[in-house]
Amino acid sequence: MGNEDIENRFMKSKKWIFLFCVFIFLSISSLFASGGGDTTRISVSEKSPMGALLRSALIPGWGQWYNGQKLKSILVFGGGMTLIGAAVIQNQRAVRSSIPEEREFYQSDRDRFIWYFLGAYLLNLLDAYVDASLSNFDTGPDLSVRSPMSAGKGVMVAFCWRF
């Protein structure tokens, strides 16, 4: 068997592994989105920050999917898998290389991709947690101040500012 045959098999297996990971990710996400058979429903505004954090810790992008940001979830997952794939490819090149300088170059690239993945992973965790924490934050245009005395007798002062 030549190196080309091994490399072709490796590339084909990478495609199947990636498709399998996407399938598992979407299956688990749809299970949690449907409530997992539970009859109680969580309202859209009630997101658990720790739940989003744990989901993103298990599979990068899952916390964003849980928070309702589907496109960001796909980008985070795809970016993470791309960085891991690049690190694996550079590692394979380093292993196959017989020239010490070339091997050192590939190992340096591999390490850089691993650091990029770790940075993206931490940002993924932070983003999922913050987005879930701010899920019920009111972003409406009404910024008026209401007094608790407005229901009974008394004087009420309202201040409205419209842009």
Residue 61 has pLDDT above 50, yes or no: yes
129 burial (CB, 10 Å; 0-12 / 13-18 / 19+) is buried
> pLDDT tens digits for 23-32?
666 665 555 5
Average pLDDT over residues 125-134: 90
CA 32, 34, 38, 42 torsion-angle sign: positive
Secondary structure letter of residue 136 according to DSSP: T
pLDDT band at 124 (very low <50, low <70, confident <90, very high): very high
The CA distance from 51 to 73, in Å, is 15
pLDDT band at 111 (very low <50, low <70, confident <90, very high): very high
Q: Are 133 and 49 in contact (CB under 8 A)?
A: yes
pLDDT computed for residue 90 by the predictor = 92
pTM of the complete model: 0.59
